[in-house]
Every structure is written in structure tokens, then in C-alpha cells.
Structure 1
């Protein structure tokens, strides 16, 4: 695993030193050169890996200020060809090995001989957890599988010791921020699905929307669906 990360660091270093944009075909070609002695199970791995580190341009912030420091790749539509091109914007990839090594050490099997089970918090700024990248990478390499369980019921159970205080809160138009956010996300998901089904789109556009939706690029999806 860590030798794979070393090769990945060298790959991104190559493109950063070039100081120019590249497409996925060029990335895949160099990937094959750097990983020629390693067994790669998933043929789509180069493309998926590149997308993992692409920053969401909808955030409209500098790369060095990005809340996810491992989003160090910029993407844009090519000015000369009908394709997407990429550029490595900073050297944050240098800390990949240290970060993943620390996370792996924290995932020693604790449920049985081969399973690690733990509560995973979600960061407020990104809506994600850094360990998700490790889990995805391990699964792509065929080294592990992962499953996220939770969020099935958007309910909060509260024991009220003083009903009079609850009554005063109610009279003061009390609102629960967590439940409000859950309701907002639910409404948005319904709007996205509705627009996706009724809007006239090409097959390519639909796949782009699906990909960006699951990559968490909400602003891009909203723009494409005119929400």
C-alpha cells in the first residue's frame, strides 16, 4: 500500500514539475509507466484516482485555502479540444503517505481478525471524513472493502425533564438547526431527481450529472439542472 502511495506521489510530482495542463489520456499513460511493476486490478483506476484529488471549482476559493487539502488538482474545459484538462496546483500530495500511514495504523481490526468497525464523524466544513479517501483507495486496489451504515432515520430522541422549559422554547419559535439541514437536503434531493427525470439531456450529460452528484459537487449539478 505505502509503495503504491510513493509511486502516486512521484506521478503527481511529474505533472507538477511540467507546470502545464494535461488530459486523462496523458495521466493514464504516465500512470502505467510509474505503476508498471504493480498489479492493478481496476483498469479505470487512473481516471478514478485523478478525480479523487480534483478540487470543486464551485467552491470559488484558492487551492491553498481549500478545506480539503488533498484537493490539489484543478480541472477545466480545454480551449482547443472537446475534453477536460487538469493541472497539479500545489505539492499537498507530498503528505499523502504520512496521512494514509497514520490512518491505516488507526484501523487495526477490532471486530474480528479481519474487520475494523468504528464510528466515523463527518466534518462540518466538508461534509466528509478524511478516512473515506483511504477506504476508497483500499477498495480500488482490491486490498479491502468498506461499508458505511447510518442515517437511515432522520430522528432525534429527546428526554424532557422540564416540560415547562420546552413550552417556553416552543413559544419562542425554537428551531433545530440539524433537523432543518436534514429537511433542506431532503428537499434538494427531490428537486435534483425531478429535474434529472424531466429535463432534456444527452446520455453524456446525464452521466456527468450522476458522477458529479456522487462526488459532492452540488453547485455544478445545480447549475447543470438549472435549480
Structure 2
């Protein structure tokens, strides 16, 4: 199916002598059902190898001018209206920046627990759980380099992480530079390029999977939006190894799980659980039980006491 994406990306200039840089998508954009293409024409190789060869241009001739530029179909659904989202994102990122500034000025090594506590205080009561706090920190951790004297080229990487010493468990962090001052502006710039373009609070775009050989920085914005509960998102496509299965189609799952050319532990487990559930439900409906016994079995089932249910219904306990 051929598509055209007329969205633009604006890179804002903060100096009076330079203008904003506007980037537009060029050419046609196609959504390709890779699974169907592989299954019908290239099933003699693994799905992963097929995708590698496809994106490397090894399955067809390229003229050197028109080449594949990988896009990912990105859908963002904002929890509130867009301007409210912009205001809240700036508020949150400025609050987090103040926390980082305090750590840097004090030359303070900190843990996830400390950051979670200090960020919650700076956010004025907004809840930021430990797992979310750790996820937020990891977005700004600098990559480990062979040459530590070289500065990370990513302007949104400013935290160093290292294993705690003295028999302590976990990681400790240190703010290495002042890039956190730019976080609010940088996030807002990315967000403006993802303004709703479909329904009132929904954005759909075909974004480059990588920029300069690195992951598109918009993906970091999406993670921040989800961490703060400002939006949910879905990213599909690109070169990542993917397999989509309708889990409500037991015949398809059985076919895949029993295919000698394709082995997948997760699919086999889904098929086993579906078969076990079907057997248990059949036994539950056909067994001669009192109403009380049925309710007891239902309670045991939802409490995870599968072995009790299996024993009462006369099933193999492994089910």
C-alpha cells in the first residue's frame, strides 16, 4: 500500500544569525507486510535473515539513487489536549533539571532511590515511582566509550553510571555536564514536531528509524511522555525482528509451533496454555459438581491453585 507522509520536521535555531531548518519527507512511503512477503516468497530463509537482506538491498537491484530509507510508523495518543501536554512536559523537565543541577553543584553521587525522592519533591506531589525514575535516568546516561576522554556527541547524555563499591548493590550516578539545562527546550522542540495531525489528540507519522547512525531522538521523547503519563505510543516497522500472531487464532499458533522449520518457545507455550485451558473448561462444564463445588473451583483457579482444580476435575496435574 503506497502512502505519502507530508509531515515536516523543524529544527529550531536559537541564534539570531541562523534560521530554523525544515526537513520534509521526499518520495513515496510504503507499508509492506513483511510477514506475508517472507512466508510467500522467501520462507527458505529465516525471517530475521530475510529482513537483513531486504534492508541491505540484497534481494533486488538498486540504482544507487533511489534507495530504501527505513521509517517506523509512529502513533502517539495524548492523554490531554496538546497545549496542556506541552506545558506539563516543560514543567516536569524543568523540575528534573533543578534536581540534576543540585547534584552537579554539590558534586554528589546519587542512587535511583535518591533521585526518585528528590524528583518527587521537585515535581510538587506528582508521583514518579522507582521503576519510572530509573527509566528516566537511563535515558540520559552516557554511552560507555573505549576512549573515555572523548565527549559523548549526544547533547542529551549527561549522566555517568557506575557500579557502587564497598559491597553495595546497585548503580550510582553522577551528573557530568550542564546539558540538562537544554532538556526542556529540546523536548519541546521534538514535541512540536509531533503535534496531533489526525484526531484531536492523536499524531501519526513515518519517522526515520535512525539519524546519523543512531536511534531517532524522538524515541527518547516518547519514553518521557509515557513515564510521566502524558501520552501512550506505538511504534511499528523498521528493521527490528518482529513476528505478529493473532493469539485468538489457535490454528495459526498450532501451525507455527509445530512447523519443523520454525521453533519458538513462546509460541509453543501459548499453544500449550490454550490447550490446557480448553481441556480444563470442558471438564468444568461436563463434570457432575454441586454449585458450591463449582464456586470453590472458580476461586481456586483465580488464586492460581491449578493443581487443586486439576485434581478435582480428574486432569493430569501438569495441566
Is the structural similarity TM-score above 0.5? yes
Q: Does 1:89 align with 2:180?
A: no
Please, what is the CA RMSD of the aligned residues? 2.4
Q: Structure 1: 5+ residue runs without aligned partners?
A: 155-227
How far apart, in 1, do the equivalents of 2:149 and 2:184 lie?
A: 20
Please name the residue that 1:70 is paired with: 156
How far apart, in 2, do the equivalents of 1:148 and 1:106 lie?
A: 16
Please name the residue that 2:85 is paired with: none
What pairs with 1:47-58 in structure 2 (closer than 5 Å)? 47-57=134-144
Q: Does 1:18 align with 2:106?
A: yes
Please name the residue that 1:117 is paired with: 204
| Kept after mapping to 2: 8 A contact 1:41/1:142 | no
| Count of equivalent residues | 152
How far apart, in 1, do the equivalents of 2:213 and 2:223 lie?
A: 20
Please name the residue that 1:60 is paired with: 146
Q: Structure 2: 5+ residue runs without aligned partners?
A: 1-88, 242-319
Tell me which of the two structures has the higher relative contact order, counting C-alpha pairs closer than 8 angstroms and 6 or more residues apart. 2
Taking structure 1 as the reference length, the TM-score comes to 0.60
| Kept after mapping to 1: 8 A contact 2:140/2:156 | yes
For residue 14 of structure 1, give the secondary structure of its aligned residue in structure 2: helix
Please name the residue that 1:150 is paired with: 237
| Kept after mapping to 2: 8 A contact 1:63/1:89 | no
Shift of 1:103: 1.4
Please name the residue that 1:164 is paired with: none
Structure 2 vs 1, CA of residues 152 and 64 (structure 1 numbering), >3 Å: closer, same or farther? closer
The answer to which structure has the higher strand fraction is: 2
Shift of 1:87: 0.4
Please name the residue that 2:251 is paired with: none
The answer to which structure has the higher helix fraction is: 1
Taking structure 2 as the reference length, the TM-score comes to 0.44
Q: Does 1:8 align with 2:100?
A: no
4+ runs deviating over 6 angstroms: none
Shift of 1:30: 1.5
Larger Rg: 2
| Kept after mapping to 1: 8 A contact 2:142/2:158 | yes
